[in-house]
Amino acid sequence: MLKGLLFDLDGVLTDSAKYHLQAWNQLATDLNITLPPEANQQLRGRSRLDSLNLVLSYGHQENRYTSAQKAAFAKTKNQMYLHLIEAMTPADILPGISDLLAAAKAAHLTMVIASASRNAPVILTRLGLAEQFDGIVDPATLHRGKPDPEIYERAQALAKLNTTEVAAFEDAAVGVSAIKAAGQFAVGIGDPAVLYQADYIVPSTAALKLEDIQRAYTTWLERKE
């Protein structure tokens, strides 16, 4: 039986993924790097440092800087990002999310945030959603970023549930890989060609309906047994 929902944040609850990309683009430009179109997908879900290394690799600069210089670049990007998210309000909650959270609450599902972002608590507060969740994984305590399953295993432990009792939501290919590596039911939001590993895929958050998710989850569970 479905007992809990585990949520990525950026690109799932709100479109902050576009601000991450904008800030990375700004830093890339400062470093004379042009991000290719696929960076939009590739940067999604990756930790701050993994993202920086990817940005540098697009410019063949991955071995050019010391870790202190990289830390400074990451800090600069974060300052730009913080500036971009300053004006966020509850109006920035993506379509369908508020209804989904309300339906989940009515069904007494446990809800936990599994975001790699150290800014997740700030964003949840800006969106007015901070009180909606039963837990939030602290990404500062993680050893490995998505696609490693660690963050989803931790979220599941926070929810005090088993692997087959949760559904996890992602917009990033590395995020879906992390969910599947954790053995959980994955709901992908976006392009099926990118999120092909997911067990259930919708084109956008507007199409997320708890009943449909529960039905797909039940089919998945029955096939497993």
Catalytic hit among 10, 15, 99, 134? 10
* CA torsion through residues 175, 177, 180, 182, sign: negative
Is 8 among the catalytic positions? yes
Residue 205 interacts, among Mg ion, ligand G6P, none and using kind-specific CB cut-offs from 5 to 8 Å, with: none
Q: Which is nearer to Mg ion, 31 or 122 (CB)?
A: 122
Residue 1 Cβ vs ligand G6P, minimum distance, rounded to whole Å: 29
Instruction: Kindly write out the interface string for residues 30-49 of this chain, putting x where it contacts ligand G6P by CB under 6 A and - elsewhere.
Output: -------------xxxxxx-
Interface with Mg ion (CB under 5 A): 8, 10-11, 45, 171-172
Residue 51 interacting with ligand G6P (CB under 6 A): yes
82 to each of 11, 22, 86, 183, 194, how far by Cα in Å?
16, 12, 6, 34, 28
154 in contact with ligand G6P (CB under 6 A): no
Q: Residues 25, 41, 119, 132: which binds ligand G6P (CB under 6 A)?
A: 119
What is the torsion angle, in degrees rounded to the nearest 10, for the CA atoms of residue 191, residue 192, residue 197 and residue 198? 80
d(CA 77, CA 25): 9
- Residues with Cβ within 8 Å of residue 207, at least 6 apart in sequence: 96
For residue 15, what are its two tokens? 């479109």
By the rule CB under 6 A, 132 interacts with ligand G6P: no
Between 135 and 139, name the residue whose CB sits nearer to ligand G6P: 139
What binding mask, one character per residue, do residues 61-80 give for ligand G6P by CB under 6 A, x or -? Answer: -----------------x--
- 208, 217, 160, 97 alpha-carbon torsion, rounded to 10°: 0
**Looking at 58-66, 115-123, 179-187, 190-198, which segment touches ligand G6P (CB under 6 A)?**
115-123
Supply φ then ψ for residue 38, to 5 degrees.
-70, -10
Look at phi and psi of residue 190 and say left if phi exceeds 0, alpha if psi is from -120 to 50, else beta. left
Q: Which does 117 bind (CB under 5 to 8 A by kind): Mg ion, ligand G6P, none?
A: ligand G6P
Count of CB atoms situated within 10 Å of the CB of 209: 14
Which residues does the annotation mark as catalytic? 8, 10
Binding residues for ligand G6P, rule: CB under 6 A, are 10, 17, 20, 43-48, 51, 78, 115-119
